Structure 1
Amino acid sequence: MTQNTGWGPAGAPGPGGWGGPQPWGGWAPPQPPKPGVIPLRPLGLGDIVNASFATLGRHWKPLAGVMLAVQGACLLVMALLAGAALAVVHEHIEPVFDPPYGQDPAPEHLTPFLVAAVVLFVLLLAVGLVALAMLTALFPAVLRESVMGRPTTFRAMWSEARRRTPAVLGTMALTILIAGAPLLAALAVAVPLMIVSLAGDDPSSGAVALLPALLLAALPVTVWLQVRLSLAPAAAVMEEAGPVTALRRSAALVKDHWWRVFGIGMLGGMIGASIAYVIQMPFQFIGMFGLIPLMAESGGGSEGVDIAGLTVAIGFGFLCVLAGGTLGQMFQTGYTQLVTGLLYVDRRIRHENLVPHMLAELAAQAPGTAPASPVPPQPDPTQPHPPQSHPTQPDPRADG
């Protein structure tokens, strides 16, 4: 894989860039180059949808390998943390969940259990966010190579995703804080008023209805902020940007094009969720069919039930559902992230004339050679219109 130098901010588009004024009314532009999954021009909805599928098809091996490795490591760390927590509070579990009849759990048992539960929850949440950040960093890294038509490997993608995980994690944390601020403000205002109202002798119905009203008012602002900052992870990976810079880049790219980013992003999420459900269905059916023979043998009673067979069948069904859910979630996450990454590429092509920068990078890969299907130089519209050539007609007077 070619070393990722980052797609830094390109210059502002000029008259000769994509979307500028076209010289000569009858001149047709040449076909743009297509080194990878997209043509190097502004992208339409079909380009984004098709390129997301094409990227998954071309690079499914490194994608699946890194995703499985990340999820496996995440589950292993979570299991170790849960086991450590159980080992610490094992002597308090029975007094908390099975106290003497008519008594509440003693504080000396309840307090350590609650502290361990809170600490475990925070640690599990942190591990999950780190794993999610690494997966979020993976897809822009793969997409960049897919757009440029370069091969990828598991080792290279693992290294690139791991390297950009801290920046993406910071970007995600700031996005959650910024986009979630309206909802948190609504809760901070409404919940104390509800508690005070309900604690009084005459609870007010207005205070109870205040929370839903504030949440409904805050939700559109949260959605607007989330979409405005949605391209930040792609900027953090493709531009080698820090969290704050990535958020600013996303806000600048989405500005004045919020509805397009929102609509295509939502459509990509719906496509990913639909196909993920289709992927899960066969695994769920296989898991359920494994229980049918045992249910028929038992005849609805408990006397003829084979406990060992039932245990194996339940375990097999659980594994099938788990496998289907994992594969479906992998596809849904990957497809949605690729759609978002392609929206970032499209915004930069339209807004910052990124194509010449990409062509220069392609040319630098093979010194002394030009990229495949380069865009020929466009005529200067300020120059006089060249005379049109016509086929030479024979002079009729020559025969006379």
Structure 2
Amino acid sequence: MTQNGWPGAHGGGWGGAPQWGGRPPAAPQPGVIPLRPLSLGDIITGSFAAIRGHWKTLAGGALAVLAVVLPVMALVVGIAAASVHDHFDPVFHPPFGEDPASEHVVPLVVAAVVVFVLFMAIGVLGMAVIAALCPAVLKEAVTGRPTTFRTLWRASVRRAPAVAGAMFLSGLIAGSPVFVVLAVWLPLVFSAGSGEDALALMGFLPLLMLAAAPLAVWLGIRFGLAPAVVVMEGAGPVTGLRRSTALVRGDWWRIFGYTIVISMLAGAIAYAIEIPFNLIGTFAMVPSLQGMSDHGTPAAGSIAALVFAVVLLFLGGAAGQVFQIAFSHMASAMLYVDQRIRREGLAEAILADLAVAPAPAAPATAGPAPTAPRSADGAGGA
């Protein structure tokens, strides 16, 4: 099975959904999930099994992303700081009683906006690699076929731009109700000035957001399977959104409920991962801060303890966020597989594909060497 294809991709080639007469007692299970319509428990346990079975690949991918993203972000900050270095003192230390001049403020604002936009783009691309890696891992985990880190990494990097496009488009469309509310509300507030009308409009914003939130959530669930479609079917971002819409249609409430439970579980586990790092980092930071306040000039030990605490806090936050992202996207890809099993007969397609090209068998255990066939004259065969 190739990395960019899946049996019956785009809804064709394998016929309609199988006629499951209730939950079968023992469905075929070549990989981490049984090949039948999945329950919430199947999706959660299957996601954990896929992560546990391929944790080296997922951890290696996350570390590779951080190894690229963090230096690039540091380079962006360094270039921006060097380009506007001459404007820092006039803005942050202006002469007494004077306001900073606009020729110094504007370059700093422009540099800050550029850095923010670049950070967002770099972060989305980095997250897209992890988001692409999870369905690529799940594709092999469902079939039970062995794979290598290099193969999965190349597949995820190759599909990362399309995944980033799907994530950007789905976020833009899902957030459009909120953007519309802000686009209408902000001009009204600025035109009202600082009177009672402005205060009334300020209190009206939560009501507008409550009206826009259901539509935003509906759109978000509707397009939530797009990253999995892009990776598993080799589709483009727009096609991924369309396929996600088709797969979710009619099952929105079930997918919404599953997504809420999965998100809460991922957040709780991520927080539990961060707790030990935060506790140790906080205990390490308190003595170093006290030493700095008592002696004025910080000692080398205080600086080392502070650096150690900051590193621990960063590692804890990074580990928790990576797990949350990986588990959420793994479960989303599992929902994609479930929908295709229910609607497009993916279970039969996978079994037929495995029957044509079965997975490599495990090496045989050691035993007596087979007897070579004997020729007519009694000599052993070659």
TM over 0.5: yes
- In the alignment, the residues of structure 2 paired with residue 206 and residue 328 of structure 1 have an alpha-carbon distance, to the nearest angstrom, of 41
Amino acid across the alignment from 1:243? P
1:232 to 226, 248, 266: 226
Deviation readout 1:242-285 (Å, 9 max, x if unpaired) = 11111111111111111111111111111111111111111222
Deviation readout 1:314-364 (Å, 9 max, x if unpaired) = 111111111111111111111111111111100110011111211122123
Amino acid across the alignment from 2:137? V
1:313 corresponding residue in structure 2: 305
CA 1:210–1:54 in 2, change beyond 3 Å: closer, same or farther?
Answer: same
> What SS does the aligned partner of 1:290 have?
helix
Deviation at 1:306, TM superposition (A): 6.3
CA contact (8 A) 2:289 2:306 kept: no
Q: How does 1:1-400 map to 2 (within 5 A)?
A: 2-7=1-6, 8=9, 9-10=11-12, 11-13=14-16, 17-19=18-20, 31-198=26-193, 203=197, 205-291=199-285, 302-303=294-295, 307-366=299-358
Aligned length: 357
CA contact (8 A) 2:163 2:231 kept: yes
CA contact (8 A) 1:18 1:41 kept: no
Q: TM-score, normalised by structure 2?
A: 0.87
- Identical counterparts, % of pairs: 47
Higher Rg of the two aligned structures:
1
Amino acid across the alignment from 2:350? M
CA 1:185–1:351 in 2, change beyond 3 Å: closer, same or farther?
Answer: same
Deviation at 1:107, TM superposition (A): 2.2
Deviation at 1:225, TM superposition (A): 0.5
> What SS does the aligned partner of 2:294 have?
coil
CA contact (8 A) 1:191 1:211 kept: no
CA contact (8 A) 1:49 1:268 kept: yes
- In the alignment, the residues of structure 2 paired with residue 312 and residue 168 of structure 1 have an alpha-carbon distance, to the nearest angstrom, of 41
- In the alignment, the residues of structure 1 paired with residue 116 and residue 298 of structure 2 have an alpha-carbon distance, to the nearest angstrom, of 38
CA contact (8 A) 2:282 2:309 kept: yes
C-alpha RMSD of matched pairs (Å): 2.4
CA contact (8 A) 1:48 1:339 kept: yes
More off after superposition, 119-128 vs 136-145: 119-128
CA 1:287–1:363 in 2, change beyond 3 Å: closer, same or farther?
Answer: same
What 5-or-longer segments of structure 1 have no aligned partner? 23-27, 370-400
CA 1:204–1:295 in 2, change beyond 3 Å: closer, same or farther?
Answer: closer
> What SS does the aligned partner of 2:31 have?
coil
What 5-or-longer segments of structure 2 have no aligned partner? 362-382
